[in-house]
Amino acid sequence: MTHIFKLTALTLAVITAPAISNDDIKISGFGSIVGGVVLEGDGYWARMPEAAGQYVSGLELKTESRVGVQARYAMTEKTSITGQVMLRGINEFKPDMEWLYVSHHITPDWKLNAGQMRLPVYHFSDYMDVGVAYPWLRVPSDAYSLAVTNYQGASLQYSLDYDWGWSNFQLYGGQQDTNPNKLLNVIGQYELEQVYDDNGKFMGVRDIQRTKDYKDMKGLVIDTHVDNFALRLSYLHGREIFTHYLPGDYPESPLYGGEWGRTRFIDISLQYDNGKINAIAEWNNYQGIYTSWFASFVYRFDRVSPYIYYTTFESELRGIAPGGAKAGFESFVDGSIDNDYNTLAIGARYDVNPRFAVKVEWLNFNDVGDAAVFIDQNQDGDTDSQAFFVSLDFTF
């Protein structure tokens, strides 16, 4: 409650005063207050970073709400330091240093960054927390499921400017440890560790621990804009180690995992935006783990922008039997798919003023796979749901 009070005070203070700016230092920020209710089903979880997006009962206003404050200090004409602090409802609004990196313009077209930064795998990776920068209430989450969002390392960017458009090339490398990996923890808890009493009442989840470390990550992003079209290609490869511990076993006795393996992630997006119509499709593949994609159409009527999107996720994992974990396990080779689901969403954005936007969204989550994605009162692995959301996005 104290954190909520502090957050409210901070938010009011910063949005009622202009952003601090002079030639060398600029402080600015953004935020979203997101509320949601479950209309049908046992609950809905948009599997966002930090395991945010969990909605069970009543009007939930905390899980996805967030505020970010960014400071940029220009040390010289060519060199600057950028830090971004995030306060997320899912983390009780405790401040976390999200990014901290130094940028150096080698030339106006070549830029070197080093520090902790956002892993630029998706089209909206860099600004998925900045609600005012995109039309939806949240980025279509079924297609944004990678369990690592930031990395420590360096990136080299080159901007190529030509008569009919521009391209940006980004080469990056680094590593990141996630212990615990909050997203994978919660996925595992609802897949495998739901607890019910003798009357079938949901009692919670067991406290497993999952970790995932990433090393030797090397990636390339090519982002090209020609007229109203944008094509973005992203490739990442490296090594990762995943470890799963049962309750009480951490850190001595992992149940499974603990071996380094090679990994590869590819993402492709194509966008058309003429100011009125915004259409985008994005597809990605995490080698040996899953494929996901989304397609969206937005039409802007002055201040109001209605939208629709469809997004789907299909894993390659086949360990859980049809009927969910209580039904047991099946062949990892020819069993049926554990995680296979899709979401259809309809919503609208209303620009109250250039710095404030109100959004509403209704969605239908359709769970096709064997594993439970969230609370599963019937214990049959089927966690379909419908939910309604409203958000206020702002920047200052």
**Binding of other proteins at residue 82 (CB under 8 A)?**
yes
Compute φ and ψ for 131, nearest 5 degrees: -60, -35
Q: What counts of helices (H) and strands (E) characterise the chain?
A: 2, 21
**Binding of other proteins at residue 76 (CB under 8 A)?**
no
Q: Select from 126, 216, 314, 316 the one that contacts other proteins (CB under 8 A).
A: 126
Toward other proteins, which CB reaches closer, 82 or 234? 82
| β-pair type (194-196, 165-178) | unpaired
Residues 224-243: x where in contact with other proteins by CB under 8 A, - otherwise, as a string:
-x------------------
**Binding of other proteins at residue 72 (CB under 8 A)?**
yes
Alpha helices, DSSP H, located in 145-259: 182-192
User: 185 with 250: CB under 8 angstroms?
Assistant: no
Toward other proteins, which CB reaches closer, 117 or 372? 117
Q: Select from 213, 351, 380, 384 the one that contacts other proteins (CB under 8 A).
A: 351
SS3 322: coil
**Binding of other proteins at residue 316 (CB under 8 A)?**
no
Number of residues this chain uses to bind other proteins (CB under 8 A): 42
**Binding of other proteins at residue 2 (CB under 8 A)?**
no
**Binding of other proteins at residue 30 (CB under 8 A)?**
yes
Residue identified by tokens 């945010």 is 52
SS3 51: helix
Residues 291-310: x where in contact with other proteins by CB under 8 A, - otherwise, as a string:
---------x-xx-------
Q: Least CB distance from residue 25 to other proteins, whole Å? A: 12
Q: Select from 1, 57, 77, 201 the one that contacts other proteins (CB under 8 A).
A: 77
Q: Least CB distance from residue 46 to other proteins, whole Å? A: 21
**Binding of other proteins at residue 252 (CB under 8 A)?**
no
Site for other proteins in 352-381 (CB under 8 A): 353-355, 357
Toward other proteins, which CB reaches closer, 56 or 220? 220
**Binding of other proteins at residue 197 (CB under 8 A)?**
no
Cα–Cα distances (Å) from 133 to 68, 138, 170, 374, 396, in that order, read 14, 10, 21, 29, 13
**Angstrom distance (rounded) from CA 320 to CA 370:** 6
Cβ contacts of residue 22 below 8 Å, gap of 6+? Answer: none
**Angstrom distance (rounded) from CA 350 to CA 298:** 12
SS3 241: strand
Toward other proteins, which CB reaches closer, 73 or 202? 73
Number of neighbouring beta carbons within 10 Å of residue 366? 15
User: 261 with 240: CB under 8 angstroms?
Assistant: yes
Residue identified by tokens 């076993």 is 249
Q: Select from 16, 76, 107, 199 the one that contacts other proteins (CB under 8 A).
A: 107
Q: Select from 33, 38, 46, 130 the one that contacts other proteins (CB under 8 A).
A: 130
Can you say how many angstroms the Cα of residue 189 is from the centroid of all Cα atoms in its chain? 19
User: Read out DSSP for 191-223?
Assistant: HH-EEE-TT--EEEE---EEEEEEEEEEEEEEE
Residues linked to residue 240 through DSSP beta bridges, in sequence order = 214, 261
Query: Of 108-116, 177-185, 195-203, 279-287, which segment contacts other proteins by CB under 8 A?
Result: 108-116
Contacting positions for other proteins (CB under 8 A): 26, 28, 30, 68, 70, 72, 77, 82, 84, 99, 101, 103, 105, 107-109, 113, 117-118, 126-127, 130, 132-134, 159, 161, 163-164, 166, 225, 274-275, 300, 302-303, 351, 353-355, 357, 395
